[in-house]
Amino acid sequence: MGANAAVLHDIRHGYGDVEVLHGIDLDLPAGQLVALLGPSGSGKTTLLAIAGGLLTPTAGVVQIKESPLYVNGKVNRKAASDTAYVLQASALIGFLTVMDNLLVRDITAGRRTTDADRERAEELLEAVDLKAKAHRYPGQLSGGERQRAAVAAALYTRAPVILADEPTAALDRERGRAVMSLLAAHAHERGAAVLVVTHDERALDLADRVVRIEDGKLN
Amino acid sequence: MRFLAWREVRHAPVRFGLIAGLVALTAFLVFVLTGLTVGLGAADVSGLQRLPVDGVVYAKGADGDLSRSSLPTSDKALIEGVDGVTDVQPLGFTMASLTAGQRSVPVALLATDNAESGVVLDNQARDKGLSPGDEVRAQPGNVPLKITGFADLGSIQHAAVASLPLKDWQRLRDAAGVSAYMVSTKDDETLAAIAKALPDTEPLTKAAAIDAVPGYQAETGTIGMIRTFLYAGAALLIGVVFWILTLQKEGPLAVLRATGASRRLLVGAYVTQVLATALTGVLLGAAAGVAMGAVMPSNVFVLPPGEAAAAGALLLVVALVGAAASVRRLFTVDPLLSLGRTA
């Protein structure tokens, strides 16, 4: 087991007077895929949002590679840049081609894309069997293809912490396992910490660790 | 930011083409109205604009209307005696017609002491079938005059200026007086001194004299008001269109924010899109406006490059003002939407 790439300590979050996360502690070791399993409304997506800097918790500490993700209630952009989301298939940017959905991560990070970046993007698309469709728009892909494109987009960032939001949703068993295999391989081969939020138990055998959340508490 | 702006335009060329088309139609109207404002304004007052004077002294009560002004020739010496006056020239003015056989050409007779003998017409009268050497008769009065040439004299009240010696004009009017006096002065305060020294006169600066030409203010004011409403309408139109466009892409914007895009990047891409779309529309509208101007009479439509550039620049500013309403949404878009929820 590698060092922890991300640490969540005593995370609490509420909406108004209602607390939905009740002091969660979760370590994400480098080189491991952790599956976070739970029913709808259990707080798993809220926890994922907090882990990536999209939602400031009411209380608690998030550390990404030993740097605090939230400082004085504000997101530490440097730490946040070490995380990347695998968003659901519907969250690809519709006006960008599949290739540009990968390269846009450089643009948003203020980097100029190079030929080497394009080659790496092509390699990733080849790995998810989408190289031939690199210049198509998301609307021209099937649901499974869009999900694989979303995975490739997150992996393109080389972020040490990958946060996946229901990456197997709406995929059949075979496609779902393929996506989970890809994420697991990324964790094992690249040493990234991967947290997968899911309620799909069909590919849990590919996870290094399974954590269950219910009513805002880890079991 | 150009990457995002251009990729979106490339993905939806029809959508952005329609927006540019809307801007082009608005710009076309703005350019046509600008050309009409300048053209009609020139047709109303360019004859006065060309006079090398600082002010015009009218009869009291004429309200700057040369047709209603009449002063005695004896006033010239009195005006010359006012401190600060450097030159005084009598001016005769009558709206008239020049007839030659069946032809009748409306003109603004402008008589001065130092005019050439005969009558010199503004160039636009060439198109009316008159030529140097033609004998014409000035109506009313049926006074014979000989056309001695053409020059760039301009127009007054939409009639070509016809320059003639003061004595011929007085013969035509069968009167010894003048309409007004053109004065050159050291400063505008001299005009007040003239009014004080000659209580039966009404001196106006050249600019005020131009504004006082009957119909000029109403004409340019009406078109100016239409232009103002057009600019306001353009701002509203562009604002609404980009507002809807921004609402429609809230999802992609949230994803971009979730992937680390700064607000500055999103706003930059948005402003680039607005400017590129508006500029395309303005250029198309300008081309159509110039084409329209080419088929309109030259004494009605005049679109100087400076005026066109100013109108185009104002439209771009108006587009940005209209689109500014959506900038707030760019700032407030919640990256949590990328996870399919708000929290």
Each residue's pLDDT expressed in tens, for chain A with a length of 219 residues = 459 999 999 999 998 888 999 999 999 999 999 999 988 888 988 999 999 999 999 999 999 999 999 999 888 988 998 999 988 766 789 899 999 999 988 888 778 889 999 999 999 999 888 999 999 999 999 888 888 899 999 999 889 999 998 888 878 888 888 889 989 999 999 999 999 998 888 888 999 999 999 988 998
| Same domain membership, residue B72 and residue B175 | yes
Of the given ranges (A3-12, B183-192, B297-306), which has the lowest mean pLDDT?
B297-306
| Same domain membership, residue B154 and residue B71 | yes
| Same domain membership, residue B156 and residue B234 | no
| Same domain membership, residue B253 and residue B162 | no
Higher pLDDT, B3 or A28: A28
- What are phi and psi for residue B22, nearest 5 degrees? -60, -45
**Complex prediction ipTM:** 0.81
Structure confidence at residue B1 (pLDDT): 66
B181 beta partners: B57, B90
In the predicted model, what is the mean pLDDT of residues B65-70?
A: 90
| Same domain membership, residue B24 and residue B150 | no
3-state helix, strand, coil in chain B (%, to 5): 55, 20, 25
Nearest to B99 by CA among B64, B142, B163, B51: B142
The pLDDT confidence band at residue B131, using thresholds 50, 70 and 90, is confident
Instruction: Please give the angle made by the CA atoms of B323, B328 and B333, to the nearest 5 degrees.
Output: 120
Structure confidence at residue B343 (pLDDT): 39
Structure confidence at residue A2 (pLDDT): 59
Share of chain B above pLDDT 90, in %: 29
* B343 to A15: CB separation less than 8 angstroms, yes or no: yes
Nearest to A108 by CA among B269, B8, B261, B255: B261
Query: Is the CB of B199 inside 8 Å of chain A's CB atoms?
Result: no
Nearest to A94 by CA among B117, B120, B251, B170: B251
**Considering B199, B228, B260, which residue would you say is the last residue of a domain?**
B199
B55 falls within a domain: no
**Considering B199, B229, B264, which residue would you say is the last residue of a domain?**
B199
Domain count, chain B: 2
Q: How far is A108 from chain B (nearest CA, A)?
A: 4
The pLDDT confidence band at residue B342, using thresholds 50, 70 and 90, is very low
Q: Are the C-beta atoms of residues B216 and B41 closer than 8 Å to each other?
A: yes
| Same domain membership, residue B230 and residue B144 | no
Q: Are strands B119-122 and B143-151 parallel, antiparallel or unpaired?
A: parallel
* A54 to B12: CB separation less than 8 angstroms, yes or no: no
Asked if pLDDT for residue B287 goes beyond 70, the answer is yes
Higher pLDDT, A91 or B17: B17
Asked if pLDDT for residue B248 goes beyond 60, the answer is yes
User: Which chain A residue shows the shortest CA-CA distance from B1?
Assistant: A107
CB half-sphere exposure, B137, CA atoms < 13 A:
10
B contacts of A105 (beta carbons < 8 Å):
259-260
Structure confidence at residue A57 (pLDDT): 94
Q: Which of B261, B265, B336 sits opposite A54 (nearest CB)?
A: B336
| Same domain membership, residue B243 and residue B190 | no
B54 falls within a domain: no
B137 falls within a domain: yes
B209 falls within a domain: no
Structure confidence at residue A89 (pLDDT): 65
**Considering B199, B233, B268, which residue would you say is the last residue of a domain?**
B199
Question: Which helix (H) or strand (E) element contains residue A141?
Answer: none
CA distances from B81 to A209, B52, B73, B213 (A): 107, 20, 14, 28
CA distances from B243 to A196, B230, B238, B328, B329 (A): 36, 19, 8, 10, 9
Query: Is the CB of B2 inside 8 Å of chain A's CB atoms?
Result: no
CA distances from B266 to A100, B166, B243, B328 (A): 16, 70, 14, 11
B211 falls within a domain: no
Instruction: Please give the angle made by the CA atoms of B253, B258 and B263, to the nearest 5 degrees.
Output: 55
d(CA A31, CA A191): 4
Both tokens of A82, joined, read: 């070490």
Interface of A with B (CB under 8 A): 15, 45-46, 48-49, 52, 54-55, 77, 80-81, 84-85, 87-88, 90-96, 100, 104-105, 107-110, 137, 165
* A95 to B8: CB separation less than 8 angstroms, yes or no: yes
Structure confidence at residue A202 (pLDDT): 81
| Same domain membership, residue B70 and residue B116 | yes
Query: What's the burial of B335, exposed, middle or buried (CB within 10 Å: 0-12/13-18/19+)?
Result: buried
Q: Which of A84, A91, A137 sits opposite B255 (nearest CB)?
A: A91
Structure confidence at residue A12 (pLDDT): 95
| Same domain membership, residue B188 and residue B316 | no
User: Which chain B residue shows the shortest CA-CA distance from A75?
Assistant: B260
B206 falls within a domain: no
B100 beta partners: B103
B155 falls within a domain: yes
* A88 to B8: CB separation less than 8 angstroms, yes or no: no
B205 falls within a domain: no
Query: Is the CB of B262 inside 8 Å of chain A's CB atoms?
Result: yes
| Same domain membership, residue B154 and residue B26 | no
| Same domain membership, residue B78 and residue B20 | no
Task: Tell me which residue range forms the domain holding B259.
Answer: 2-44+216-339
| Same domain membership, residue B81 and residue B9 | no
Average pLDDT value over all residues in chain B:
87
User: Which chain A residue shows the shortest CA-CA distance from B263?
Assistant: A108
Of the given ranges (A84-88, B166-170, B278-282, B288-292), which has the lowest mean pLDDT?
A84-88
User: Which chain B residue shows the shortest CA-CA distance from A76?
Assistant: B260
Between the ranges A135-144, B168-177, B316-325, where is the mean pLDDT highest? A135-144
